[in-house]
Amino acid sequence: MIIPMHVIEMLKKARARFEGETPAARMLPSDADFTTLRPVRNATKSSVAKYWARLTETASRADQDALADPITMENPDQFSANIENFIGTVKMPVGIIGPLRINGLNAQGDYHVPMATTEAALVASYARGAYAATKSGGISTALLYEGVIRTPAFVFDSLLDAGRFVEWVVTEIDALKTAAEATTRFGKLASVEPIIDNNVVFLICRYTTGDAAGQNMVTIATNALCEDIVARCTVRFQAWYIEGNFSGDKKASFLGLVTGRGRKVSASVTLPAAVVEKTLGTSVQAMLDYGQVANLGSHLSGQLGAQAHFANGLAAFYIATGQDAACVAESAIGITRMEARGDDLYCSVTMPNILVGSVGGGTSLPSQSAGLNILGLKGAGKASALAEVAAATCLCGEISIVAAIAAGHFTRAHENLARHR
């Protein structure tokens, strides 16, 4: 057995740090007094000041001014629906890419896409991809499917009882649908799919959620469905849980890759060879050659799907438009394809788990509302277009990074734009 050198170095540093004392003593439970934070939902100037008074040992007045700035503190209550124990707002750099031309079933036109990130070179890369795509006539997009899922779990004494329970659910599906949909104006229960593992049954409850991302919507609806089961089901069970960790909520999963959780979108563009050469600084064949190696790497490392960096574009897009940034964990899976079409390069992405909304969540906050307004996609009737813009943006990033690595420009670009700026 070979012990990696970095492990040996870590142990040496730990020993040196605790020289003269017993490391174990530092790690014993402590009974020192403390005063806990009492959760505050409704933010006021007074509550913000009270929280900052606790932070004087570590945070300066300048730190307070940076987070609790005058614009934020004009109306702190506007953030109450989105956060507890409010102390201010974080300002992130926001850049735009575009115009990004999209010829979609729902998104149609030229868009300037806001991206919030602290990673230098990211916006420049996506902007280059957007320029290449728009110069090639734009990106075709289509929303293929939508359905946000919650998967409650029921535990029984035996496999026989689990089977009887599934039989009961099937016969009562109309009543369960009524119970779930009574909690929401916009959510609709599209299907209930039972999965049996011996004495445990998972119910894959799939919903359409209107123009909201729908995470809270489907949780509340599913809870009502489960309570109706508890009240009326003739099969006894030991326990039930609102989420059996089967749905893939904020986790990459095979279920999400195959069936989708959120909005499934495909986006594609054919780049003429001249655009690849003049705009991206490489050749169609070079991009195809690298794409073949990258695809092999995806398979050998066990990635869910095969893509370069969906998470970069999604995180920046989600933060700028008020989406749940943690959903990037499940949204950033899918397939990138690049194929020769004569002398030209066909590029596409299929993303099964885009969780976005044009209403609800963080979309009404001032900065995020501005991001949606820049796109022209705030409010009712815009969520499907927003999902198509998200996929098209990710395609721009895939095009640019593959071209950069194929041409040997990737490191130089990051040195110029990030390290040596």
User: Which residues face 150 on adjacent strands?
Assistant: 205
- Tell which phi-psi region holds residue 14, choosing left (phi > 0), alpha (psi between -120 and 50) or beta: alpha
| Chain Cα centroid distance, residue 79 | 21
Nearest alpha carbon to residue 358 among 386, 392, 334, 339: 386
Q: What is the largest CA-CA distance in the chain?
A: 73
Question: Residue 167: CB partners within 8 Å, gap ≥ 6?
Answer: none
* 167, 248 Cβ separation under 8 angstroms: no
**Residue bearing tokens 């934020």:** 72
Q: How far apart are CA 404 and CA 410, in angstroms?
A: 5
Q: How far apart are CA 18 and CA 383, in angstroms?
A: 55
Provide the residue type at 341 as one letter.
R
Q: How many CB atoms lie within 10 A of CB 311?
A: 17
Q: How far apart are CA 269 and CA 347, in angstroms?
A: 5
Rg over CA atoms, the chain? 25
Structure tokens at 29: 């439970």
Q: How many CB atoms lie within 10 A of CB 134?
A: 21
Which residues are known to be catalytic? 119, 324, 414
Average pLDDT, the chain: 94
How does residue 411 score in pLDDT terms, banded at 50, 70 and 90? low
Q: How far apart are CA 237 and CA 230, in angstroms?
A: 9
Nearest alpha carbon to residue 391 among 265, 305, 229, 241: 265
For residue 51, what is the enclosing H or E element?
helix 45-53
Q: Is the pLDDT of residue 418 over 70?
A: no
Q: How far apart are CA 327 and CA 257, in angstroms?
A: 14
Strand ranges, E, within 139-213: 139-150, 153-155, 188-197, 200-208
Q: Residues 386-410: pLDDT tens digits?
A: 999 999 999 999 999 999 999 997 6
For residue 399, what is the enclosing H or E element?
helix 383-407
Q: How far apart are CA 169 and CA 189, in angstroms?
A: 14
Q: Is the pLDDT of residue 253 over 70?
A: yes
For Cα atoms 302, 308, 313, give the angle at the middle one, nearest 5 degrees: 125
Is the CA virtual torsion 287, 289, 294, 295 positive or negative?
positive
Structure tokens at 357: 């909304």
Write down all domains in the chain, each with its CATH number in brackets: 96-146+263-419 (3.90.770.10), 152-241 (3.30.70.420)
Is the CA virtual torsion 252, 255, 258, 259 positive or negative?
negative
Q: How far apart are CA 221 and CA 184, in angstroms?
A: 7
Q: How far apart are CA 203 and CA 222, in angstroms?
A: 10
Q: Is the pLDDT of residue 366 over 60?
A: yes
Q: Residues 5-35: pLDDT tens digits?
A: 777 787 777 777 666 666 677 778 888 898 8
User: Which residues face 267 on adjacent strands?
Assistant: 141, 349
pLDDT of res. 2:
72
Structure tokens at 17: 């740090």
Q: Is the pLDDT of residue 350 over 80?
A: yes
**Residue bearing tokens 């004392």:** 21
Q: Residues 189-247: pLDDT tens digits?
A: 999 999 999 999 999 999 999 999 999 999 999 999 999 999 999 999 999 999 999 99
pLDDT of res. 7:
76
Q: How far apart are CA 316 and CA 321, in angstroms?
A: 9
- For residue 234, how many C-alpha atoms fall within 13 Å in the half-sphere facing its CB? 7
| Chain Cα centroid distance, residue 73 | 29
Structure tokens at 84: 């507890």
% the chain with pLDDT above 90? 87
